[in-house]
Structure 1
Amino acid sequence: MQKVQGSWVDDQRQGHGVYAYPNGDTYDGEWLHHERHGQGTYTHHETGSQYMGTWVMGKMESTGELIHLNHRYQGNFVNNNPSGPGKYVFDIGCEQHGEYFQLEPISATLPNQEDSGNLELTLQESIKNFSKQPAAFERIGSLVMSQQDM
């Protein structure tokens, strides 16, 4: 069941408010034109994970913190994804500093021996199909870590 507490302007959420989604997720923060916009916290009911930070027209943008059960990511976000410098902070007391880069899919044309034609691959799609765990691919494929303080 959806539950809303907050201000409305022209039949749209506006200003500070709390919204409970049908799946149990919640958002507590600022709204503009019916979109998450400004500072706010989104909590995933199923996992307990939270994003606390800046929202721009419904997307995670700028400075924020993504908090999971035993670690957190602190850094910048662009279009709902980590981007630029950031760090993972683990509950066991260590930190991993690095920088996220948004990678474009890589395409390659390889000879196809069966019909002497060409077989076009997209590396990103191949890895996703192989992995079956897109979140793991995103961390491995998009995070370039520096070996500082080692």
Structure 2
Amino acid sequence: MRPAIRPATADDLPALVALDELCFGPEAWSTVSWTTEFERLSEDRVILVADEGAAVGYVVLLVPPVTVDVVELLRIAVTPAERRTGIGGQLTTAALARCAGRTVLLEVAAGNQSAGGLYKSFGFQEISRRRGYYAGGEDAVIMRWRESV
């Protein structure tokens, strides 16, 4: 059974903080950062949750007003136990559906081949790198997606 993809609510905050810590370890967002994301949901943030009775994944988008044609995919995560089951693809599909007519940018650690492969499968292309951006000196790969017309 595929999880439901739905907008996050304030009730999801503790689960998303825990999921972020599980997936990103020392690179996880703090509870304060997550609280700020939730405070901005009505302004320019979209958080979608993959729900199987509990949050098993999420995606966070920075969606500026329609006068700006660039959306940033800020964060996407799936619990380790649910990876390679299609949930990351479901979340990406749901996120891109909210970006019609816009360019989407994201960054991914160069060594994260699984995530990089997922993004490439959706048509994201590498456009630049931030050398030594992540802890340990790993590069950040900047990728761009434009909707095919």
How high is the TM-score relative to the length of structure 2? 0.28
Higher relative contact order (CA 8 A, sep 6+): 2
Larger strand percent: 1
